[in-house]
A = this chain, B = another copy of it.
């Protein structure tokens, strides 16, 4: 930890040295000396790169071009609690946005992060989150190039909220998107479902549940890069986050105007997630994931893709779970283990609030 700095001061307002007062106070959001100290001692120290260090209100960056497009994505993160088995709000904020922009087949390059802090937040907790962000950014190979910090009064926020925006680069020959699924395509999932939602839920302690479930939060860009090497003709990449696998497949079915059939017995799920869901009456198909990938690609590619995914860090339990069909346009059908079929709709309201 940084030692308490001595601040000399000639301005109109009384100063509070950053590490003397170990909590966030309103002055840390003022844009003045306290904000500057917080930026230097917590953000720049951990995110350090030439773009941030320049100290302008903008970061000026180059793209790997020539040509190509930008892939841009944004997310607000409000997970409660801030720390949970397998991750924290910082890891989630980086991975969530890295994953969203990677779903176009883009190479993720740059992230911005804006923080809304609640007065009274322990600065050590903030720093732990920032360190976790930098670790995830390192793993994904992206830079946090611009940021902002605001502070709200105690009771007007909840510790830390983080909004991240990602900027990636796509070569002009990439044509991946939710509207590209074709009848005959195979549907692959990169691993077990429901881990993130259940991990966060049990971390809250509301249900006096004990569970060994850890969040799957992880950056998926390296897995995607491997897939696109062997299957550049992949049609859809999508991470089933809020709303889970069922809601995400519905979005794809609607965008592509196709039907999707999935087979219950082929969907990977751990016993711990399955039993917790049964206990609480949740359907794991609607529980959020933060490190899983849906791949929709021509059927002839499915075995190669499966093998590639299984050889990546986060893909051990990948499985082929279904196929795209022409009939039942815009519907997702679950073939159950007992041989019946049911329509999976999108999730309506809220099953597990504040899981990302």
Contact = CB atoms under 8 A, between A and B. Distances in A.
Interface in A163-190: 163, 165, 167-168, 170, 177-179
Interface in A130-162: 145-153, 155-158, 161
A348 B34 contact: yes
A118 B15 CA distance: 32
A305 interface: no
A138 to B, nearest CB: 20
A12 B283 contact: yes
A101 B145 CA distance: 13
A345 interface: yes
Contacts of A29: 78, 242, 350, 353-354
Given A151-B353, A247-B32, A72 B54 contact: no
B150 A78 contact: yes
Interface string A63-77: 101110111111111
B55 A71 contact: no
A226 interface: no
Interface stretch (A109-117, A212-220, A267-275): A109-117
Given A33-B348, A151-B353, A104 B56 contact: yes
A27 interface: yes
B55 A255 contact: yes
Interface string A58-95: 11111101110111111111101000000000000000
Contact of A13 (B30, B54, B59, B351): B351
Nearest to A16: B349
Most-contacted residue by chain B among A36, A70, A71, A76 (CB, 10 A): A76
Contacts of A225: none
A250 B115 CA distance: 24
Contacts of A12: 282-283, 286, 347-348, 351
A349 B288 CA distance: 40
Interface string A276-288: 0000001100101
Interface in A44-58: 54-58
Contacts of A75: 114, 148
Interchain residue pairs A-B with the least CB separation, the first 10: A31-B242, A27-B349, A32-B347, A163-B163, A165-B165, A74-B112, A31-B243, A76-B114, A11-B345, A15-B348
A346 B161 contact: no
Nearest to A177: B56
Most-contacted residue by chain B among A71, A150, A246, A349 (CB, 10 A): A349
A177 B315 CA distance: 45
A124 to B, nearest CB: 20
A282 B30 CA distance: 14
Contacts of A170: 60
A155 B345 CA distance: 32
A71 B59 contact: yes
B55 A73 contact: no
Contacts of A264: none
Given A55-B251, A101-B58, A165-B112, A30 B345 contact: no
Contacts of A177: 54, 56, 60
Nearest to A119: B353
Most-contacted residue by chain B among A60, A100, A153 (CB, 10 A): A60
